[in-house]
Amino acid sequence: MEEIKAPITEYINGPGFLEEGYFLVEVLVQKRKERARIIVLLDGDRGIGIDQCAAASRKLGQWLEETNLLPDAYVLEVSSPGVDHPLKVKRQYPANLGRQLKVETTDGRTVLGRLEAVADEFITLAPVEKKKKPKPGQAPAEDTLLRIPFSDLVSAVVQVSFK
């Protein structure tokens, strides 16, 4: 599938495909019995709307037809990542400052925390745990900010809150 995924990724990341402020999150290629399925996930620094996805789909579909990259039938889907889709690129993190993330790390830890800061090499989380009521006369424990390097992240998923 890399022979299909790589040229699509290169084309989308190339000059003139996406407008300023938008970026590629992921290209997925699924081979099926009848037809291949190409899923392109796009995002923007301020989110992305259906109009931008539709324009990208038309442009990519035309390019796929012209290059004949897929000689057989295929299905093309261009959309934004859903709320349950893990954050894949660093550029997605600033738009989620203040939101709660569920983070899995390379050492097997799972951390639930509010995204406080994003730097070039790491994110900073304020842990969110179910609080135990302090004993009478005892002050509640203070949260400690956690720095998690991007190199230690396995996945980070925004947690939807209905408050």
CA distance 56 to 27: 13
CATH of the domain at 32: 3.30.300.70
Q: In this structure, are 68 and 23 located in the same domain? A: yes
pTM exceeds cut of 0.85: no
Q: pLDDT, tens digit, for every residue of 139-152?
A: 444 558 999 999 99
With 70 as the cut, is the pLDDT of residue 138 above it? Answer: no
pLDDT of 74 reads 93
Who wins on pLDDT, 65 or 138? 65
Which of 79, 99, 131 is the last residue in one of the domains?
79
- Strands (E) in the chain, as ranges, are 22-30, 36-44, 74-79, 100-105, 110-118, 122-127, 146-149, 153-158
Q: In this structure, are 96 and 32 located in the same domain? A: no
Q: In this structure, are 74 and 143 located in the same domain? A: no
Q: In this structure, are 58 and 115 located in the same domain? A: no
Strands 36-44 and 100-105: unpaired
Burial class (CB in 10 A: 0-12, 13-18, 19+), 141: exposed
Amino acid at 43: D
pLDDT of 131 reads 57
Whether residue 58 lies inside any domain: the answer is: yes
pLDDT tier at 83, thresholds 50, 70, 90: confident
Stretch 5-14: mean pLDDT: 96
3-state SS assignment for residue 156? strand
Stretch 114-129: mean pLDDT: 93
Please count the structural domains in the chain: 2
pLDDT of 1 reads 73
pLDDT of 16 reads 92
Q: In this structure, are 73 and 104 located in the same domain? A: no
Tokens 């938008």 map to which residue?
22
Closest by Cα among 50, 68, 60, 46 to 18:
60
Dihedrals phi, psi of 134, to nearest 5 degrees: -70, 155
Q: In this structure, are 9 and 74 located in the same domain? A: yes
**Left (φ > 0), alpha (ψ -120 to 50) or beta: where does 77 sit?**
beta
Q: For the chain, give the mean pLDDT.
A: 90
pLDDT of 128 reads 82
The CA-to-CA distance between both ends of the chain, in Å, stands at 42
CATH of the domain at 138: 2.30.30.100
Task: Decide if 128 contacts 120 (C-beta within 8 A).
Answer: no
Q: Which domain holds residue 133?
A: 90-158
Q: In this structure, are 9 and 50 located in the same domain? A: yes
pLDDT of 143 reads 55
pLDDT of 161 reads 74
Q: pLDDT, tens digit, for every residue of 24-53?
A: 999 999 988 888 999 999 999 989 999 999
Q: In this structure, are 7 and 75 located in the same domain? A: yes
